[in-house]
A and B are shown apart, each in its own frame.
Chain A
Amino acid sequence: DIVMTQSPLSLPVTPGEPASISCRSSQSLLDSNGYNYLGWYLQKPGQSPQLLIYVGSNRASGVPDRFSGSGSGRNYTLKISRVEAEDVGVYYCMQSLQIPFSFGPGTKVDI
């Protein structure tokens, strides 16, 4: 099974400043079709998770362009160019290359 790790697990942020979260997988998430099966999800307090980034670097519909995803193989990064107060919550990476799919432990972002 693929194990996902994230760092840091807790990230205090300052509005207007950049922030970055790392996600690492125990195996490469790069498929033969060229896609990296890594997604980023944000769970705001009291809400269901929402999709931010898919296949490593594609921003989901409606997601502000201050969010960006990068990486390939085993290492991925989610960057927020300028944090806003509404960005607080827990960020999860998820691999969907190999069943059983799996999530990282989550990174709690707060102001």
Chain B
Amino acid sequence: QVQLAESGGGVVQPGGSLRLSCAASGFTLSKHGMYWVRQAPGKGLEWVALIWYDGSNKYYADSVRGRFTVSRDNSKNTLYLQMNSLRAEDTAVYYCAREYDWKTRRLDYWGQGTLVTVSS
């Protein structure tokens, strides 16, 4: 069955860096766009980034553009989010999600999330 498993979260100081991973299984990662969505403690969902199925196009929320980089290694069935220059407001649970197809843009599977805490 389809599974997405995030890892790499933790506590980091302001200005620091962290790389999140999302291991995909049960489907062919190279056929799907992938998203990162985050949720600050007690808050709503925020779209963070999108990468096309082949990595040819990447899009970011204004709040992270220039600091975060989304990438993927389809041969390893893994999605990444490199987070640099982290700020307190980046503290959140980060979810990866699969886009079923670009035609409908529905996020049909989500991981369990990984918590990133930015604090001194």
Q: Is B27 an interface residue (CB 8 A)?
A: no
Which residue in chain B gives the minimum CB-CB distance to A105? B44
Rounded to whole angstroms, the CA-CA distance of A39 and B78 in the bound complex is 25
User: Are B107 and A41 interface neighbours, CB within 8 A?
Assistant: yes
Q: From B11-19, B56-64, B79-87, give the one contacting chain A.
A: B56-64
Task: Kindly state the separation between the CA atoms of A90 and B45 in the bound complex, as whole angstroms.
Answer: 10
Whether B104 pairs with A54 at a CB distance below 8 angstroms is yes
User: Which of under 10, 10 to 19, 20 to 34, or 35 or more describes the interface residues of B?
Assistant: 20 to 34
What's the nearest-Cβ distance from chain B to residue A97, in Å? 8
B83 to chain A, nearest CB (A): 17
B39-63 vs A, Cβ < 8 Å mask (1 yes, 0 no): 0000011110010000000011110
Least CB separation from A52: chain B residue? B106
Asked if A49 meets B47 with Cβ closer than 8 Å, knowing A54-B104, A99-B59, the reply is: no
Q: Please name all residues of chain B whose beta carbon is closer than 8 Å to the beta carbon of A41 when the two chains form the complex.
A: 45, 107
> Does B107 contact A51, Cβ atoms closer than 8 Å?
yes
A28 at the interface (CB under 8 A from B): no
A101 contacts B47, CB within 8 Å?
Answer: yes
A109 at the interface (CB under 8 A from B): no
Q: Does A76 contact B (CB under 8 A)?
A: no
Q: Which residue of B lies closest to A106 (CB)?
A: B44
CB-CB under 8 A for A37 and B105, given A48-B110, A99-B59: yes
User: Can you report 14 A-B residue pairs in the complex whose CB atoms are below 8 A from each other?
Assistant: A39-B107, A41-B45, A41-B107, A48-B95, A48-B110, A49-B45, A49-B110, A51-B106, A54-B100, A54-B106, A60-B108, A101-B50, A103-B44, A103-B46
Having A54-B104, A54-B106, A94-B107, one finds 10 other A-B pairs with CB under 8 Å, namely: A1-B62, A41-B45, A49-B37, A49-B95, A49-B107, A54-B105, A60-B106, A92-B45, A94-B47, A100-B62
**Chain A residues with a Cβ under 8 A of chain B:** 1, 33, 35, 37, 39, 41, 43, 48-51, 54-55, 58, 60-61, 90, 92, 94, 96, 99-106
